[in-house]
């Protein structure tokens, strides 16, 4: 048996043996060598054996006479900090392994990792219903579904919504099982103001979205803290299946669609079940029938023959409402108001102008001439929308590219290269427009000082916060634009 400290290659051999169930190879190394072995994420051989369903290796490493590890040993790396071996076998759906950990070795089924993530939540996320049912039925200290909430305020319905798409088969079985338990609220919002409707839309699960609407009566009428409807999140994901979800949400999960049907005297459920041509013909016939009685020309004709005059303004309003309902339905019934106004570049330009007027800096000291580059010219208003996704608390510099891609899926973050304090176009081309975090920070500091605060902290990193701008400005600007139009 080897007894010296392991090198990197030997660590790889030990981890590979744990993954593949090679106890013979593990037996060549000392207890200390195996205990000192971990991967770049901090996972030990026990974590890997648990996640790869290597039962005999787990029993070897947890031998009661001389165990190599504590059964609840947790990962120490930042990304997966606190995850125990049980987290991994629950996440990967290994029921027999889960039973062994809990019944043979007394593993804690309620262990919380970073952000309050439990083994049960990971099983829900990966759509392992059999694991969830087992943990909820433990004779001693079972999992209580309504109490499974992480540090972001996400309950297990939120986790269901973000199940990886390739694992989403029969996801409705998971959702219906969860909702059969007491105190499960489909309308619960997490810390960002998002419901499970938001999460299912972001996750691209059209069947789950339909289930939540048709069975549990959810409508897309809740905006998250950044002003996003569920349809906005589907827009941000920007795939074909997400576009289908966004259309469904803006038509069938909008109360405006039901209201338009009601004005025309139509049953919304019947209308939605028709083919497009048949539906449009029904809508048109109903509109023409009702328009006979409230069309302004009809009212004026009646007034010339009657002694008493009707309220012309009221009649005109009735007709306009009827016409609007008709036009809304024949155009597909999409609710255009069911969108986050911050994702309108026109509106964000107005907000930017107002913010610049309030700043104490001279405008020209924080602007460069980007007239030849549309992407760079619109950088500031788009950055405002990105920052306001997180309100006044700001966003870490390293997260800006990721959030930008969500908010502006059709407008990538410009590739910025700073040279001698200027945005050198030739230098951009020479470096293949490669963006670096330092270059992005310098660009923001040089050109966006009138709309952002840059907060540098050795512990938390670099935070970019909005300055002279709030979500209230969005509402005010939107109202002003509505009046102007």
What is residue 445's predicted lDDT score, i.e. its pLDDT? 86
Q: Cβ distance 267 to 261 under 8 Å? A: yes
What is residue 338's predicted lDDT score, i.e. its pLDDT? 74
DSSP label at 102?
A: I
**Which of 31-35, 153-157, 438-442 has the least mean pLDDT?**
438-442
414 pLDDT above the threshold of 60: yes
pTM: 0.75
Q: Cβ distance 361 to 449 under 8 Å? A: yes
The closest of 37, 27, 46, 31 to 7, measured between CA atoms, is 37
pLDDT tens for 246-280 read 999 988 898 888 899 999 999 988 988 889 899 99
What is residue 385's predicted lDDT score, i.e. its pLDDT? 84
The H or E element that residue 465 is part of is strand 461-466
Q: Which domains does the chain have, with CATH numbers?
A: 8-241 (1.25.40.20), 257-330 (no CATH), 341-484 (no CATH)
What is residue 222's predicted lDDT score, i.e. its pLDDT? 93
Q: How far apart are CA 431 and CA 425, in angstroms?
A: 10
What is residue 146's predicted lDDT score, i.e. its pLDDT? 96
Of 237 and 52, which is predicted with more confidence? 52
Band of pLDDT at residue 359, cut at 50, 70 and 90: low
341 pLDDT above the threshold of 50: yes
395 pLDDT above the threshold of 90: no
What is residue 432's predicted lDDT score, i.e. its pLDDT? 40
Residues contacting 81, CB < 8 A, separation 6+ = 42, 74, 75, 113, 114
Q: Cβ distance 14 to 45 under 8 Å? A: yes
* Average pLDDT, integer, range 156-165: 97
| SS3 at position 395 | strand
Average pLDDT over the chain reads: 84
SS3 helix, strand, coil % of the chain, rounded to 5? 55, 5, 40
DSSP 120-170: HHHHHHTT-HHHHHHHHT-SSS---GGG---TT---HHHHHHTS-GGG-TT
Q: How far apart are CA 253 and CA 118, in angstroms?
A: 32
Band of pLDDT at residue 177, cut at 50, 70 and 90: very high
Structure tokens at 224: 């998250």
* Average pLDDT, integer, range 198-208: 97
Residues contacting 251, CB < 8 A, separation 6+ = 257, 332, 333, 334, 335
* Average pLDDT, integer, range 429-436: 45
Q: How far apart are CA 268 and CA 275, in angstroms?
A: 13
DSSP label at 103?
A: I
Band of pLDDT at residue 315, cut at 50, 70 and 90: low
Torsions phi, psi for 245 (to 5 deg): -65, -45
The closest of 173, 183, 307, 297 to 163, measured between CA atoms, is 173
Structure tokens at 166: 């390739």
Winning range, highest mean pLDDT, from 2-6, 281-285, 437-441: 281-285
What is residue 357's predicted lDDT score, i.e. its pLDDT? 65
434 pLDDT above the threshold of 60: no
376 pLDDT above the threshold of 70: no
Q: How far apart are CA 437 and CA 350, in angstroms?
A: 28
291 pLDDT above the threshold of 50: yes
220 pLDDT above the threshold of 90: yes
* Average pLDDT, integer, range 453-463: 82
What is residue 306's predicted lDDT score, i.e. its pLDDT? 53
Q: How far apart are CA 422 and CA 435, in angstroms?
A: 15
Band of pLDDT at residue 89, cut at 50, 70 and 90: very high
Band of pLDDT at residue 107, cut at 50, 70 and 90: very high
* Average pLDDT, integer, range 207-212: 97
Q: How far apart are CA 271 and CA 269, in angstroms?
A: 5
44 pLDDT above the threshold of 70: yes
**Which of 21-30, 55-64, 232-241 has the least mean pLDDT?**
232-241
What is residue 170's predicted lDDT score, i.e. its pLDDT? 93
């Amino acid at each position: 048996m080897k007894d010296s400290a392991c090198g990197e290659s030997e660590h790889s051999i030990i981890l590979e043996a744990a993954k593949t169930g090679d106890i013979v190879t593990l037996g060549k190394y000392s207890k200390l060598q195996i205990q000192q072995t971990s991967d770049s994420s901090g996972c030990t051989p026990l974590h890997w054996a648990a996640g790869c369903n290597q039962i005999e290796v787990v029993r070897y490493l947890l031998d009661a006479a001389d165990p190599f590890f504590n059964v609840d040993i947790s990962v120490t790396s930042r990304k997966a900090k606190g995850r125990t071996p049980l987290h991994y076998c629950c996440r990967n759906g290994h029921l027999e392994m889960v039973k062994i950990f809990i019944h043979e070795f007394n593993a804690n089924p309620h262990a919380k990792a970073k952000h309050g993530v439990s083994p049960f939540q990971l099983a829900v996320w990966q759509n392992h219903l059999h694991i969830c049912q087992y943990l909820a039925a433990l004779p001693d200290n079972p999992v209580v579904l309504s109490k499974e909430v992480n540090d972001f305020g996400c309950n297990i319905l939120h986790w269901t919504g973000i199940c990886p798409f390739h694992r989403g088969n029969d996801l409705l079985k998971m959702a219906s099982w969860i909702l059969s338990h007491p105190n499960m609220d489909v309308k619960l919002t997490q810390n960002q103001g998002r419901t499970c409707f938001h999460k299912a839309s972001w996750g691209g699960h059209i069947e789950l979205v339909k289930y939540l609407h048709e069975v549990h009566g959810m409508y897309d009428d809740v905006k998250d803290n950044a002003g996003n409807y569920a349809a906005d999140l589907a827009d941000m994901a920007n795939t074909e299946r997400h576009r289908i979800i966004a259309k469904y949400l803006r038509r069938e999960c909008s109360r405006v669609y039901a209201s338009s049907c009601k004005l025309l005297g139509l049953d919304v459920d019947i209308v939605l079940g028709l083919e497009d041509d048949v539906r449009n013909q029904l809508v048109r016939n109903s509109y023409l029938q009702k328009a006979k009685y409230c069309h302004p020309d009809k009212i004026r004709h009646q007034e010339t023959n009657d002694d008493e005059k009707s309220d012309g303004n009221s009649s005109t309003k009735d007709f306009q409402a009827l016409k609007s309902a008709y036009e809304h339905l024949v155009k597909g019934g999409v609710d255009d108001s069911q969108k986050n106004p911050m994702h309108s570049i026109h509106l964000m330009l107005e907000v930017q102008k107002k913010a610049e007027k309030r700043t104490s800096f001279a405008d020209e000291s924080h602007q460069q001439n980007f007239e030849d580059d549309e992407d760079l010219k619109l950088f500031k208003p788009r950055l405002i929308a990105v920052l306001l996704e997180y309100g006044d608390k700001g966003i870490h510099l390293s997260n800006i590219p990721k959030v930008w891609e969500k908010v502006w899926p059709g407008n990538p973050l410009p590739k910025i290269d700073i040279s001698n304090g200027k945005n050198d176009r030739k230098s951009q081309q020479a470096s293949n427009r490669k963006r670096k975090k330092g270059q992005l920070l310098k660009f923001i500091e040089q050109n966006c000082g009138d709309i952002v605060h840059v907060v540098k902290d050795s512990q938390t990193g670099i935070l970019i916060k909005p300055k002279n701008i709030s979500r209230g400005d969005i509402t005010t600007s939107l109202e002003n634009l509505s009046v102007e139009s």
